[in-house]
Amino acid sequence: MLLENTTDNLGWQAADFSLCDPDGKRYALSDLKGENGLLIVFMCNHCPYVKAVGQRLSEDASTLQTEGINVVGINSNDYQNYPDDSPANMKRFAAQYDLPFPYLVDEDQSVAKTYGAVCTPDFFGFNNKDELQYRGRLDDARLETAASRTPELVNAMKTIAATGKGPAQQLPSMGCSIKWRN
């Protein structure tokens, strides 16, 4: 099901969490913060929207990291009912797209619920004071083509790093719904 996130909740403080990657290495929010901000991406392995942006996300994350903005991916999908999103498949997905950031398992889905994530991909861009400043999309490219695109997320995060504030105009991300447990 196609969903859009909402961009009307800017300014709230990032909620602490502690999650593991598929190999069991634990990361807390405090471990992930960058000098100039943090981008949290709620994503999964099987969503066609995430697959379509996988390479661009990897490249954009590398760009952001050179700007002192750290990136983390979080998979909150119910992988018992959607085995393509299992931790083993997360490792394969991360290798396939050469993700330069930790990709964590939200086993009990509490982080996605706390953050109000609704779709994959769902982007949460925080300034260096842990205030949400971006809840938009990756770019303006369509699923079919990315030859010519405006890197909206990168541009927004660079602005946030420089000023502490996100752009006034933000277009929501679209994607598949998070697969919630019953």
pLDDT tens sequence for the chain (182 residues): 445 555 557 899 999 999 999 999 999 999 999 999 999 999 999 999 999 999 999 999 999 999 999 999 999 999 999 999 999 999 999 999 999 999 999 999 999 999 999 999 999 999 999 999 999 999 998 766 666 889 999 999 999 999 999 999 999 999 999 999 98
Q: Indicate whether 39 belongs to any domain.
A: yes
Q: How many domains does the chain have?
A: 1
Q: Indicate whether 26 belongs to any domain.
A: yes
Q: Indicate whether 69 belongs to any domain.
A: yes
Q: Indicate whether 100 belongs to any domain.
A: yes
Q: Indicate whether 146 belongs to any domain.
A: yes
CATH of the domain at 124: 3.40.30.10
pLDDT of residue 121: 97
pLDDT of residue 146: 63
Q: Indicate whether 182 belongs to any domain.
A: no
Q: Determine the structural domain holding residue 70 and report its residue range.
A: 2-177
Q: Are 22 and 107 in contact (CB under 8 A)?
A: no
Q: Indicate whether 65 belongs to any domain.
A: yes
Statement: the pTM of the whole predicted model exceeds 0.85: yes
Q: Indicate whether 15 belongs to any domain.
A: yes
